[in-house]
C-alpha cells in the first residue's frame, strides 16, 4: 500500500471493514438546510450534465478537485479557507449520488453551512490525503480525473441556469455599486491603497471575497495590472475589482477624473469603447472564441490603436465561476452559447473598459451596472464613462 493510501485509510475501522465507505463513512446525508446555498432545480441540471460527461467517457465516476468545478457543481458552496490555497473538499460524483469529502476539522462547518441537500459528507483526518480519500469511494478507487474532461466541464458551465443567473446579477450590481460609492468619495489626495482598502471593506461587507483589487493614479496609468501603492491618485485614476461570492466572480473596472480631461484622453476613452462594441457584436451564439479573438485583433487598428495592443494585456473571455473561464486566446475554440456570461477587457495606453455581461435572447446585458454611474450609449448598449468629480 502506498503512502497516500495509508494516510487516506487512517479511520480506525478501515482495515477491519476493508471498504472505502467504511473508511470514510457518511457523517451526514443533507436534509433541508436553509443556510446552505444551492438551487435544487439548477443542481439537478448540473448533475445531469456531469452524468452526460460520464456517459460520453464510458466511466462511472468523476472526481472534482478545483474551486471552479466544486463551486459550480455544488451551486455556490464555499470550499476554501485561504484564498490562495487549494479547496478543503473534493467531490466524487458517481451514478448513485454525490459524495463530498472534507477534513475532519472542516466537517462541522461544511455540514451546517455549505452542504446542499442530497450530498453525502465524508471525512478524512486533517493530515490525510483528501483526493486519495475521495477517489477510494469510486469502484476500484479510479474515478475519472477532472483534468481529463476539463473542456467538457467548461462547456457544462457555459449556459447559466435561472438560479445562478439571478445570484450573479445581484453580485455584479453590488460590486458596481461599491465602485460608485468608493470612487465618488475619492479626492486627488486619496492614495491607491486608500481606494483599494475602501473597496475591500465594501466587498467583504456584502459577503464576498476580493480576489483582485487594483488601482493606479495619474502617475501609473501605463500599468495595466496596477497593484496599489501609497501614491496619491492625482488628477485621474483607475480601479479594478474581482469579487467572488458563492463561487461566482464579478469583474469591473471604473475610472475617475478630477479635472476636465485632455482631448486626447477623452478621444482614447471613446475609441476603446468602440473596440469593446465590436467585441460585443462578435459575441453571439455559435461563435467560437478564436473567431472573436480575431475580431479583437482587427478592432484595435480599426479604431486608431496599434495593431499590437492585444499583445500587451489579456483581452478577457467567458466569466462566472472563474475570473475567466477561460481567457480567450487565438487558439481557444470554445463555442459561445446563449445565457453565457463574459468579461471582455480591451485596453490601450491609459485606457481600459471592463464589465461583466450576459448574452441573453435580447443580446448583451450588462450585469455590473449601477444607475448612478454616468454612461454613454455605444452601439445600443450603455457603457461607463469616466466619473468626473
pLDDT (tens place) for every residue of the chain, 389 residues total: 233 333 333 333 333 333 333 344 444 443 333 446 789 999 999 999 999 999 999 999 999 999 999 999 999 999 999 999 999 999 999 999 999 999 999 999 999 999 999 999 999 999 999 999 999 999 889 999 999 999 999 999 999 999 999 999 999 999 999 999 999 999 999 999 999 999 999 999 999 999 999 999 999 999 999 999 999 999 999 999 999 999 999 999 999 999 999 999 999 999 999 999 999 999 999 999 999 999 999 999 999 999 999 999 999 999 999 999 999 999 999 999 999 999 999 999 999 999 999 999 999 999 999 999 999 999 999 999 999 99
For CATH 3.90.230.10, the residue range(s) in the chain are 162-388
**Local structure of 368: helix, strand or coil:** coil
pLDDT tens digit sequence for 143-190: 999 999 999 999 999 999 999 999 999 999 999 999 999 999 999 999
**Local structure of 360: helix, strand or coil:** strand
Residue 346 CB partners (closer than 8 Å, separation 6+): 272, 275, 276, 279, 296, 299, 300, 309, 315, 316, 352, 353
Distance CA 172, CA 175 (A): 5
Contacts made by residues 66-71, CB under 8 angstroms, sequence distance 24+ = 66/146, 67/247, 67/321, 68/157, 68/247, 68/321, 68/322, 68/325, 69/146, 69/153, 69/321, 70/247, 71/246, 71/247, 71/248, 71/321
For residue 215, give the nearest of 204, 203, 202, 225 by alpha carbon: 225
For CATH 3.40.350, the residue range(s) in the chain are 3-157
Distance CA 346, CA 306 (A): 13
For residue 349, give the nearest of 252, 294, 240, 271 by alpha carbon: 271
Distance CA 280, CA 100 (A): 39
Determine whether domain 3-157 maps to CATH 3.40.350.
yes
**Local structure of 40: helix, strand or coil:** helix
User: What pTM was estimated for this model as a whole?
Assistant: 0.91
**Local structure of 336: helix, strand or coil:** coil
CA 107 to chain CA centroid, nearest Å = 25
Q: Which CATH architecture has domain 162-388?
A: Alpha-Beta Complex (3.90)
Amino acid at each position: 500500500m502506498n503512502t497516500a493510501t495509508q494516510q487516506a485509510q487512517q479511520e480506525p475501522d478501515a482495515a477491519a471493514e476493508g471498504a472505502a465507505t467504511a473508511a470514510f463513512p457518511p457523517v451526514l446525508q443533507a436534509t433541508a438546510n436553509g443556510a446552505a446555498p444551492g438551487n435544487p432545480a439548477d443542481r439537478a441540471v448540473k448533475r445531469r450534465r456531469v452524468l452526460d460527461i460520464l456517459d460520453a467517457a464510458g466511466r462511472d465516476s468523476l472526481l472534482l478537485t478545483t474551486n471552479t468545478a466544486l463551486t459550480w457543481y455544488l451551486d455556490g458552496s464555499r470550499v476554501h479557507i485561504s484564498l490562495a490555497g487549494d479547496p478543503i473538499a473534493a467531490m466524487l460524483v458517481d451514478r448513485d449520488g454525490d459524495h463530498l469529502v472534507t477534513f475532519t476539522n472542516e466537517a462541522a462547518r461544511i455540514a451546517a453551512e455549505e452542504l446542499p441537500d442530497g450530498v453525502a459528507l465524508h471525512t478524512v483526518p486533517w493530515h490525510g490525503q483528501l483526493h486519495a480519500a475521495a477517489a477510494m469511494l469510486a469502484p476500484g478507487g479510479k474515478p475519472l480525473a477532472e483534468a481529463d474532461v476539463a473542456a467538457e466541464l467548461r462547456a457544462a458551465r457555459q449556459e447559466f441556469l435561472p438560479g445562478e443567473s439571478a445570484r450573479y446579477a445581484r453580485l455584479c450590481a453590488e460590486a458596481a455599486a461599491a465602485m460608485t460609492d468608493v470612487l465618488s468619495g475619492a479626492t486627488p489626495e486619496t492614495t491607491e491603497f486608500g481606494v483599494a482598502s475602501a473597496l475591500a471593506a465594501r466587498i467583504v461587507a456584502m459577503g464576498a471575497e476580493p480576489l483582485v483589487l487594483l488601482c493606479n493614479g495619474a502617475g501609473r496609468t501605463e500599468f495595466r495590472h496596477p497593484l496599489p501603492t501609497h501614491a496619491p491618485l492625482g488628477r485621474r485614476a483607475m480601479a479594478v475589482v474581482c469579487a467572488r461570492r458563492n463561487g461566482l466572480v464579478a469583474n469591473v473596472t471604473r475610472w475617475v477624473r478630477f479635472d476636465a480631461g485632455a482631448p486626447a484622453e477623452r478621444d482614447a476613452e471613446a475609441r476603446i469603447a468602440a473596440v469593446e462594441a465590436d467585441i460585443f457584436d462578435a459575441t453571439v451564439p455559435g461563435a467560437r472564441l478564436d473567431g472573436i479573438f480575431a475580431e479583437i485583433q482587427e478592432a484595435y487598428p480599426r479604431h486608431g490603436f496599434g495593431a499590437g495592443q492585444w499583445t500587451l494585456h489579456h483581452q478577457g473571455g467567458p466569466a462566472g465561476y472563474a475570473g475567466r473561464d477561460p481567457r480567450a486566446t487565438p487558439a481557444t475554440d470554445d463555442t459561445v452559447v446563449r445565457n453565457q456570461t463574459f468579461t471582455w477587457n480591451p485596453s490601450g495606453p491609459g485606457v481600459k473598459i471592463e464589465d461583466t455581461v450576459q448574452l441573453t435572447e435580447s443580446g448583451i446585458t450588462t450585469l455590473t451596472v449601477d444607475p448612478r454611474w454616468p454612461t454613454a450609449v455605444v452601439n445600443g448598449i450603455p457603457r461607463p464613462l469616466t466619473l468626473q468629480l
